[in-house]
A and B are shown apart, each in its own frame.
Chain A
Amino acid sequence: MSESPLLEVRDLTVHHGQLRAVSNVSLRVRPGEVYAIIGANGAGKSTLLRTIAGLHHPTSGLVLLDGTNVTRLRAEKRATAGISMVPEGRRLFPSLSLEENLKVGASYARRGPWDIPAVMELFPFMKERRGQKTAQMSGGEQQQVAIGRALVANPRVLLLDEVSLGLAPLILQRIYDVLPRILASGVTVLLVEQDVAQARRVASHMQCLLEGRTTLEGRPSEFTSEQVEAAYFGLAGHNAGGAR
């Protein structure tokens, strides 16, 4: 391992009540890269991401940001420490306008290149609709507001949870098109995707989860589609988790 990771997860196990949603998962996200977590519905991807953001507490394991243990930090403290998450389903504030959503995101912003004008530059549609309630907006627009709300906090790591959910391919492409500009600003990205092709296209590292366990990890170019498919669906005795 040449470079020290910006975000590291060590041996993380998370329970939802009785259910073991994430089992002994580890990952190392290096600065400036896009790390993708793929897996089917219920594989534990979102739980993993929410635990990194501090919304769930792990049964065991560690979350480290730039070498500092943040496992016991509450979600709001992790946000100010530099972990911002775009939650699954956007989760905008429905009674707030677009601009107010961004202002809330900037409430405890770290210093950095992103502010509300910069985000509106990134997503130009926002300028004319800043006063509108986000409930009236399309799914793609809401997703862009959610990304903007996370960006204005100037995170070191941006967690994207299922950005593609419910979006038309063309709209999704427009959202992924801004990823290079986000990376160029010095933000590292950890994303969760069900769309494997999309994840392979943008990621420099990827990991596949199946029933809460890691079934594949490495650079996207290291694996054939068949290998990824096997890891994704747990086919052909790829590991014990898939044999059930």
Chain B
Amino acid sequence: MAWVNAIIQGILTGGLYALFACGLSLLFGIMKVVNLAHGDLAIVGAYIATGVIAVTHVPFLWSIPIMVVLMAALGYALQRSVIQAALNKGELATLIVTFGLSIVIENGLQRFFSANSRSIGTGSSLLSASFSAGSQIQIGWLPVGILGIAILVLLALQYFLSASRYGRMIRAVADDRDAALLSGINARHVFGIAAAISFGTVGLAGVAYGMSGQFSPTDGNSTILLWAFAAVVIGGLGSLWGTLLGGIVLGVAQQVGGQINISYEALAGYIIFLVVLVFRPQGLTARRTQS
């Protein structure tokens, strides 16, 4: 039973990882930007949510859409300014710029919010409750809810990309930027929209992370970015549903590793990551188009 429990908990954790990873994957798939500040932005989202509650005293649930809008605006602004400027100099320059952003964000957060860790109080007893399935298995409503939200976000993203006018333009720019320009599409604006979506989703992930436990300014770089990378690589770069699969594989590996020995939890996750990298570098879900 303990093993079944580990697998169930792993699948549920996968939802959080997918939420972290989908924005990273989207940004890479569309403009080949590896956003090294992605993890820090999740933490920014968590701080914005707590800040919104503290300043406006809105109920917790209201703070989430406000945070998503603010993060999306930040994403669009950063894309149109520093990230685009780096893109014009080549894809390698974006690594340096996003690395710099990561340092600025991390230190900025420490400056303003101190290095103390905190958590997001939901004020809801339901979210901290759990239900039992069998004698040894306790399933928390919060991870179930996060997995549900991750699936909803992925469904919404898939619908947006496949059926909407802007989604079509995003895919066109990702396929062939010059040909899209020739059709009158402003690729910079489209990139900005993609960044807005990426930042919005990672903000959501940050709030989910803050609700699940403690968060502090350094978490973005030390843990979240690595998880998100691992989930993206395991699932397949640029694939949306691959991030969910990758997140679940990573989550199950960690939980099962932790079941063997609690100190193997992180190790098991990275072993799976390396195994996939060696034997199936294109990820578990192969990409449709060349990258």
Q: Which residues of A contact B (CB under 8 A)?
A: 53-55, 74-77, 79-80, 84-85, 87, 91-96, 100, 103-105, 107-109, 149-150, 153
Do B184 and A108 touch (CB < 8 A)?
yes
B166-204 residues at the A interface, CB under 8 angstroms: 168-169, 171-172, 174-176, 178-187
Do A76 and B289 touch (CB < 8 A)?
no
Q: Decide if B89 is an interface residue (CB 8 Å cutoff).
A: no
Distance in Å: Cβ of A83 to nearest Cβ of chain B: 9
Do A85 and B182 touch (CB < 8 A)?
yes
Do B178 and A105 touch (CB < 8 A)?
no
Q: Contact partner of B185 among A87, A91, A94, A104, CB < 8 A?
A: A104
- Interchain residue pairs A-B with the least CB separation, the first 3: A108-B184, A79-B184, A75-B181
Q: Decide if B111 is an interface residue (CB 8 Å cutoff).
A: no
Q: Which residues of B contact A (CB under 8 A)?
A: 165, 168-169, 171-172, 174-176, 178-187, 288-289
Distance in Å: Cβ of A120 to nearest Cβ of chain B: 18
Do A93 and B179 touch (CB < 8 A)?
yes
Docked complex Cα distance between A77 and B187 (Å): 11
Do B176 and A108 touch (CB < 8 A)?
no
State the majority secondary structure of interface residues on B: helix
CB-CB nearest in chain B for A103: B168
Given A76-B187, A107-B165, A95:B171 Cβ within 8 A:
yes
Do A76 and B185 touch (CB < 8 A)?
yes
CB-CB nearest in chain B for A85: B182
Q: Which residues of A are found within 8 Å of B184, using beta-carbon distances?
A: 76-77, 79-80, 107-109, 153
Q: Contact partner of A91 among B169, B174, B176, B288, CB < 8 A?
A: B176
13 A/B residue pairs, CB under 8 Å, sorted by A: A55-B181, A75-B181, A75-B182, A87-B179, A93-B171, A93-B172, A93-B175, A93-B176, A93-B179, A104-B185, A107-B185, A108-B184, A150-B182
Docked complex Cα distance between A85 and B181 (Å): 10
Q: Which residues of A are found within 8 Å of B179, using beta-carbon distances?
A: 87, 91-93
Q: Which residues of A are found within 8 Å of B174, using beta-carbon distances?
A: 95
Q: Contact partner of A53 among B168, B182, B288, CB < 8 A?
A: B182
CB-CB nearest in chain A for B288: A95
Q: Contact partner of B178 among A55, A77, A149, CB < 8 A?
A: A55
Do A105 and B183 touch (CB < 8 A)?
yes
Q: Contact partner of B171 among A96, A108, A150, CB < 8 A?
A: A96
Q: Contact partner of A104 among B168, B178, B186, B289, CB < 8 A?
A: B168
Q: Contact partner of A79 among B171, B172, B182, B288, CB < 8 A?
A: B182
Docked complex Cα distance between A215 and B231 (Å): 59
Q: Which residues of B are found within 8 Å of A105, using beta-carbon distances?
A: 183
Docked complex Cα distance between A87 and B172 (Å): 15
**Most B C-beta atoms less than 10 A away, residue of A74, A77, A95:** A95
CB-CB nearest in chain A for B180: A104
Q: Which residues of B are found within 8 Å of A91, using beta-carbon distances?
A: 176, 178-179, 182
Q: Which residues of A are found within 8 Å of B171, using beta-carbon distances?
A: 93, 95-96, 100
**Most A C-beta atoms less than 10 A away, residue of B168, B184, B185, B288:** B184
Q: Which residues of B are found within 8 Å of A54, using beta-carbon distances?
A: 181
Q: Which residues of A are found within 8 Å of B187, using beta-carbon distances?
A: 76
Do A96 and B168 touch (CB < 8 A)?
yes
Q: Which residues of B are found within 8 Å of A107, using beta-carbon distances?
A: 165, 168-169, 183-185
Distance in Å: Cβ of B13 to nearest Cβ of chain A: 31
Q: Which residues of A are found within 8 Å of B172, using beta-carbon distances?
A: 93, 96, 104
Docked complex Cα distance between A79 and B172 (Å): 16
Do B181 and A79 touch (CB < 8 A)?
yes
Docked complex Cα distance between A107 and B189 (Å): 14
Docked complex Cα distance between A222 and B286 (Å): 57
Docked complex Cα distance between A55 and B175 (Å): 17
Docked complex Cα distance between A94 and B180 (Å): 12
7 additional A-B residue pairs with CB within 8 Å, beyond A87-B179, A104-B169: A96-B171, A96-B172, A104-B185, A105-B183, A107-B165, A107-B184, A153-B184
Docked complex Cα distance between A95 and B161 (Å): 12
Q: Which residues of B are found within 8 Å of A85, using beta-carbon distances?
A: 182
Do B165 and A76 touch (CB < 8 A)?
no
Docked complex Cα distance between A149 and B180 (Å): 11
Q: Which residues of B are found within 8 Å of A109, using beta-carbon distances?
A: 184
Distance in Å: Cβ of B167 to nearest Cβ of chain A: 10
Distance in Å: Cβ of A160 to nearest Cβ of chain B: 12
Q: Which residues of B are found within 8 Å of A150, using beta-carbon distances?
A: 182
Docked complex Cα distance between A24 and B187 (Å): 31
Distance in Å: Cβ of A207 to nearest Cβ of chain B: 22
Docked complex Cα distance between A53 and B181 (Å): 9
Given A95-B289, A100-B168, A153:B175 Cβ within 8 A:
no
Do A108 and B168 touch (CB < 8 A)?
no
